[in-house]
Amino acid sequence: MATHGKVTPIMQTGHPPVFMGAHALAHLEQRLAALPATSTCFILGDETTMAQCLPELLAHVPALQAAHNIQVRSGEQSKDIEVCRALWMHLAEQHADRQAVLVNLGGGVITDLGGFVAATYKRGIRFIHVPTTLMGMVDAAIGGKAAIDLGGVKNLVGAFADPDATYLHTPFLRTLGKRELLNGVAEMVKHGLVRDANHWNEVRRAPLHNLEALAPLIERSAAIKSEVVAEDPREQGPRKLLNFGHTIGHALEAFAMESTQRSLLHGEAVAIGMVCATWLSWRTGLLDRDRMNAVEEHLMGLYPSFSFQATDEHRILELMRNDKKNSSGEYRFTLLTGIGSAEVDVPITAAQVTEALEHYRLLLPDAHLRLHSQA
Ligand SMILES: NC(=O)c1ccc[n+]([C@@H]2O[C@H](COP(=O)([O-])OP(=O)(O)OC[C@H]3O[C@@H](n4cnc5c(N)ncnc54)[C@H](O)[C@@H]3O)[C@@H](O)[C@H]2O)c1
Ligand SMILES: [Zn+2]
């Protein structure tokens, strides 16, 4: 049953709001109950979230019991134009009109896919995000970006489109595996490093297995993301703070997809990207050595190592050039100027990127063995 208590929105004036705390879903119930009877609700989820999270959502939000459920396959492959086509057709067959509301229940795949489908169906219907992964809660479901993949290129087609609201219910994370949890923690570390030293300290000391202890930190991270986005919704300037670790991270993610090694999750690639960017921050004189060491030590201890050869560095640089953020062949990095502060658009040369990748390779546990065998 829903508890009709006080709901604390983290963004009282901002738009769109992110609701969190123990009564967030009670607030969703109130909102939906107040909709006109002509509004049809749809819930979009994947195989996992429909099995693991839908029963809990319906228990807290009875207004959704009459909703139409739509399920897609779990995984990135659902961010696909054919899946969109099936969803648009389904909405049309169910006579969804401009009053319809789409509730996206899932991780970043579902909020990206559902946001894009809702933003384009009949030139836009309302949608609500209910993220169920940590990556969704602290990143994907906040910020109004929705996209699908095309021709093997991630997020090639999409739109800026705001949900009516995002609702964080951290108990959904109970069923999330450790690797997926750490995937989202990388973005939380990033939020602390670029914006809030206290948050960085709390996140690095947090007991990751204890959801109750983690919940307020998840909420703080979500607040940081929505604050930064509110300052720059269209990503012209300050929002680039959130790119910290992503310039090299995206290239490594793409590189891992091409290689035969195990794949890298986005957060795992960003963690390596942050190690490299932190080193570049020191190399360019923006950050002192002690702070660099602290960041490096934490990230290297938390994430599995990813090995690549010196000969792969050329390909990684090439992938960075393909990234839309590096048009005209220039590398522009978001780098740390301290713990909790960063500078955007710092020019970095290809040689410096190679040095940073080399530095990461030297930190790997078997680095000295490899160097001996090459000698
Ligand atoms: N729009 C943005 O600003 C933005 C930001 C970050 C990431 N993204 C996108 O988000 C996607 C990645 O998001 P993700 O990491 O959440 O991936 P995901 O949505 O694929 O979820 C990861 C896995 O966890 C499962 N899952 C979801 N909730 C669960 C739960 N409560 N318990 C157990 N399993 C659960 C899913 O079924 C899936 O198998 C990428 O496509 C990325 O491009 C978008
Ligand atoms: Zn990211």
Atom of ligand 1 nearest to the CA of 53: 31
Band the pLDDT of 153: cuts 50, 70, 90: confident
Is residue 341 domain-shared with residue 206, that is, in the same domain? yes
pLDDT single digits (tens) 61-74:
999 999 999 999 99
Does residue 291 lie within any of the structural domains?
yes
Does residue 94 lie within any of the structural domains?
yes
Distance (angstroms) between ligand 1 centre and the Cα of 109 equals 5
Query: Does the pLDDT of residue 156 top 50, yes or no?
Result: yes
Residue 237, pLDDT score? 85
Query: Does the pLDDT of residue 96 top 70, yes or no?
Result: yes
- Of the listed ligands, the closest to the CA of 138 is 1
Does residue 34 lie within any of the structural domains?
yes
Is residue 191 domain-shared with residue 296, that is, in the same domain? yes
Residue 316, pLDDT score? 94
Query: Does the pLDDT of residue 12 top 50, yes or no?
Result: no
Containing 128, the helix (H) or strand (E) segment is strand 126-131
Question: Going by CA atoms, what residue is nearest to atom 30 of ligand 1?
Answer: 176
Domain boundary among 154, 176, 198: 176
Query: Does the pLDDT of residue 368 top 70, yes or no?
Result: no
Does residue 114 lie within any of the structural domains?
yes
Is residue 85 domain-shared with residue 228, that is, in the same domain? no
- Mutate which of 78, 180, 265 for ligand 1? The one with the most ligand atoms within 8 Å of its CB, which is 180
Is residue 48 domain-shared with residue 99, that is, in the same domain? yes
Is residue 192 domain-shared with residue 128, that is, in the same domain? no
Residue 93, pLDDT score? 98
Query: Does the pLDDT of residue 375 top 70, yes or no?
Result: no
Band the pLDDT of 372: cuts 50, 70, 90: low
Is residue 236 domain-shared with residue 347, that is, in the same domain? yes
Is residue 358 domain-shared with residue 221, that is, in the same domain? yes
Percentage above 70 pLDDT, the chain? 92
- How does the average pLDDT of the chain come out, rounded? 92
Distance (angstroms) between ligand 2 centre and the Cα of 235 equals 14
Domain boundary among 176, 191, 224: 176
Question: What domain range is 291 assigned to?
Answer: 180-375
Question: Going by CA atoms, what residue is nearest to atom 15 of ligand 1?
Answer: 135
Does residue 246 lie within any of the structural domains?
yes
Distance (angstroms) between ligand 2 centre and the Cα of 277 equals 14
Is residue 194 domain-shared with residue 263, that is, in the same domain? yes
Query: Which is more confidently placed, 103 or 2?
Result: 103
Residue 8, pLDDT score? 58
Band the pLDDT of 4: cuts 50, 70, 90: very low
Distance (angstroms) between ligand 2 centre and the Cα of 243 equals 7
Does residue 223 lie within any of the structural domains?
yes
Average pLDDT in the 138-158 region? 95
Pocket of ligand 1 (CB under 6 A): 46, 48-49, 52-53, 74-76, 79, 106-110, 112, 132-133, 135-136, 139-140, 143, 145, 154-155, 172-173, 175-176, 180, 183, 266
* Residue located via tokens 């001996």: 372
Check: CB of residue 132 under 8 Å from CB of residue 53.
yes
Is residue 76 domain-shared with residue 152, that is, in the same domain? yes
Question: Going by CA atoms, what residue is nearest to atom 6 of ligand 1?
Answer: 140
Domain boundary among 176, 197, 217: 176
| Rounded-to-10 torsion of CA 19, 107, 170, 62 | 70
Residue 1, pLDDT score? 37
Cα dist from 169 to 113, 174, 206, whole Å: 20, 11, 19
Is residue 96 domain-shared with residue 195, that is, in the same domain? no
Residue 116, pLDDT score? 98
Active site residues per annotation: 123, 145, 187, 225, 235, 239, 243, 246, 250, 266
Distance (angstroms) between ligand 1 centre and the Cα of 40 equals 26
Residue 295, classed as helix, strand or coil, is helix
Query: Does the pLDDT of residue 367 top 90, yes or no?
Result: no
CATH number, domain of 265, equals 1.20.1090.10
Band the pLDDT of 232: cuts 50, 70, 90: confident
pLDDT single digits (tens) 71-91:
999 999 999 999 999 999 999
Residue 58, pLDDT score? 98
Alpha helical stretches, state H, 170-288: 178-195, 197-205, 211-231, 246-258, 266-283
Residue 13, pLDDT score? 39
- Of the listed ligands, the closest to the CA of 265 is 1
Check: CB of residue 106 under 8 Å from CB of residue 128.
no
CATH number, domain of 51, equals 3.40.50.1970
Residue 323, pLDDT score? 66
Is residue 294 domain-shared with residue 360, that is, in the same domain? yes
Predicted TM-score (pTM) of the model is 0.94
Does residue 2 lie within any of the structural domains?
no
**Count of the separate structural domains present in the chain:** 2
Is residue 55 domain-shared with residue 99, that is, in the same domain? yes
pLDDT single digits (tens) 265-318:
999 999 999 999 999 999 999 999 999 999 999 999 999 999 899 899 999 999
Question: Going by CA atoms, what residue is nearest to atom 25 of ligand 1?
Answer: 48
Query: Does the pLDDT of residue 221 top 90, yes or no?
Result: yes
Does residue 298 lie within any of the structural domains?
yes
pLDDT single digits (tens) 319-366:
998 765 555 557 999 999 999 999 999 999 999 999 999 999 999 987
Residue 3, pLDDT score? 42
Residue 311, burial from CB neighbour count under 10 angstroms (0-12, 13-18, 19+): exposed
Average pLDDT in the 99-106 region? 98
